C-alpha cells in the first residue's frame, strides 16, 4: 500500500485510488447552477450543460465536480466553472461560502439523490455568468432556459433527479419557481 499512501502525491487520485476512497467516505462535491441575470440582478435564464453519454444518449447537467485534497471550496468552484464554461464565462462567484442547498447523493436508490458511483455530498451555489460560455471536452453545448422552460418534463427528463431537484430548489430560493 505504500505506493498509494506516499507523501509526495498531489491532490489527483489514480483511478484505483478513487475507487478505493469512494467505498470508504462520502465525497465532497460542488454543484453550480449557472444563471443569466438582468441589469438589476433579476433571473433571466438557467444554464445546463448538454453532454453525450458513452451509451449514445444525451444528458443535461449542472456544473459539478469534486473538491480536491488541499483545495478550498472557492478554488473548486473556479476550477469547475473554468473547465465547463471556458475561460471567458466571467462567472460572478459567491461572496459568501454558505450554499443555498446541500445535495446528498447515495449509491443506492432511496430518499436521496442517486449517484451509482458513490456517496457524495455537494455544496450547491447559484452563479451568475456574464460572459461567453464555450464548453469544452465532452460537453456539446451550454443551453439557456427560462425559469418556466427549465422545469418542464422535456428538460428535466434529460437530467438526473438530483440535478433537476437542485434547479427547482434554486428557483425557489430566488422566488422564481413557476
What lies within 8 Å, CB to CB, of 10 at 6+ separation is none
Applying CB under 8 A, does 74 fall inside the site for its own copies?
yes
List strand residue ranges (DSSP E) for 38-169, in order.
43-52, 58-61, 63-66, 101-106, 113-114, 120-128, 139-145
Applying CB under 8 A, does 131 fall inside the site for its own copies?
no
CB of 70 to its own copies, least distance (A): 6
**What backbone phi and psi angles, to 5 degrees, belong to 164?**
-60, -40
- Characterize the bridge pairing of strands 120-128 and 27-37: parallel
CB of 138 to its own copies, least distance (A): 23
Which residues of the shown chain bind its own copies in the complex (CB under 8 A)? Answer: 1, 4-5, 7, 9, 13, 16-17, 19-21, 23-28, 35, 37, 40-43, 66-75, 77-78, 92-102, 104, 106-107, 112, 119, 121, 123, 126, 128, 165, 168-169, 171-175, 177
Amino acid at each position: 500500500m505504500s505506493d498509494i499512501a506516499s507523501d509526495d502525491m498531489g491532490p489527483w487520485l489514480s483511478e484505483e485510488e478513487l475507487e478505493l476512497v469512494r467505498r470508504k467516505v462520502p465525497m465532497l462535491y460542488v454543484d453550480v447552477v449557472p444563471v443569466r441575470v438582468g441589469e438589476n440582478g433579476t433571473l433571466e435564464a438557467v444554464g445546463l450543460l448538454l453532454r453525450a453519454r458513452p451509451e449514445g444518449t444525451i444528458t443535461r447537467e449542472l456544473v459539478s465536480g469534486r473538491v480536491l485534497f488541499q483545495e478550498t471550496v472557492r478554488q473548486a468552484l473556479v476550477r469547475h466553472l473554468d473547465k465547463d464554461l471556458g475561460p471567458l464565462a466571467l462567472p460572478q462567484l459567491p461572496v459568501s461560502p454558505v450554499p443555498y442547498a446541500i445535495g446528498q447523493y447515495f449509491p443506492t436508490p432511496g430518499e436521496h439523490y442517486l449517484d451509482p458511483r458513490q456517496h457524495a455530498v455537494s455544496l450547491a451555489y447559484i452563479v451568475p455568468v456574464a460572459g461567453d460560455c464555450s464548453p469544452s471536452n465532452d460537453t456539446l453545448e451550454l443551453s439557456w432556459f427560462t425559469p418556466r422552460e427549465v422545469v418542464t418534463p422535456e428538460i428535466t427528463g434529460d437530467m438526473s433527479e438530483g440535478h433537476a431537484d437542485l434547479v427547482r430548489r434554486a428557483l425557489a430560493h430566488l422566488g422564481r419557481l413557476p
